[in-house]
Amino acid sequence: MFESLVKRLLQGEFICEVTDEAGFQYLQDQENLFQIEDYLQRINYRLASTQNKLAFYAAYMEIDNTARQDIRKIFQQFRLELHPVVEWLDMMMACLKQDTSLSPGDTLALSSLLQVIENNQALADRLQAFAKFKDFTSNEDSVKGRLEKLLNTLHKWGYLQLANRDTLIYQVTGKLDYFYQSLQFIQENEEIPVEQGEEEQTQENLF
């Protein structure tokens, strides 16, 4: 277990209960955790975890110029993911009619989502709008094709894991905990106005 976990961490993977249940349980044991941390430290890395400890990943121990360059590349990918992932999370709440956003471990069945979206023009329109994002353009012109593309890309980005290949049931991974943490950080530090008041909406003039 030690060997496979170290390899996966070095390959930049997030280890959570969904992507690697045995590995995640292994890391719950303090002794094992120390061993992994000790090994990573020898090569100037360290073990990091998301805010709610739902996923583990490898981070740099010291951030020198080379490390900063590498981090910049990872960050650029996150920038690319921000808009479509937020849109996906919001859309899933509308599809599932929930007052909670998706959490690691939640399941999404392609067939159920398809049924909801096909019967709701506004949701179908939102799904179609994903085509404006890089990595979401699809040659398929059907709702099913677009939905498959959406879930496949999120799977490729590590936010979803295919739990059942036959019934196409996906499971949300621990990487989403990392995403929420980053979203919260951006909102607080860039002062994004996410609180909308319930007063009469009076749009002011442009000038």
Binding segment toward other proteins, per CB under 8 A, in 17-25, 69-77, 141-149, 161-169: 69-77
Q: Which of 35, 101, 107, 138 binds other proteins (CB under 8 A)?
A: 101
Calpha distance 79→73 (Å, rounded): 10
**Using CB under 8 A, which of 64, 99, 141, 166 touches other proteins?**
99
Q: Which residues pair with 60 in a beta bridge?
A: 45
> What residues between 121 and 180 interact with other proteins by CB under 8 A?
121-123, 125, 178, 180
Q: Give the count of alpha carbons within 13 A of 149, CB side only.
A: 21
Q: In the stretch 42-61, what mask flags binding to other proteins with x, by CB under 8 A?
A: ---x--x-x------xxxx-
Describe the strand order of the beta sheet including 169-172 as a list of residue ranges. 107-109, 169-172, 160-164
Q: Name the minimum Å distance from CB 28 to other proteins.
A: 21
**Which of 52, 51, 58 lies closest to 14, judged by CA?**
58
Cβ nearer to other proteins, comparing 30 with 205: 205
> Which string of DSSP letters, residue by residue, matches 72-98?
HHHHHHHHHHHHHHHHHHHHHHHHHT-
Q: How far is the CB of 57 from other proteins (least distance, A)?
A: 6
Using CB under 8 A as the binding rule, whether residue 65 contacts other proteins is answered as no
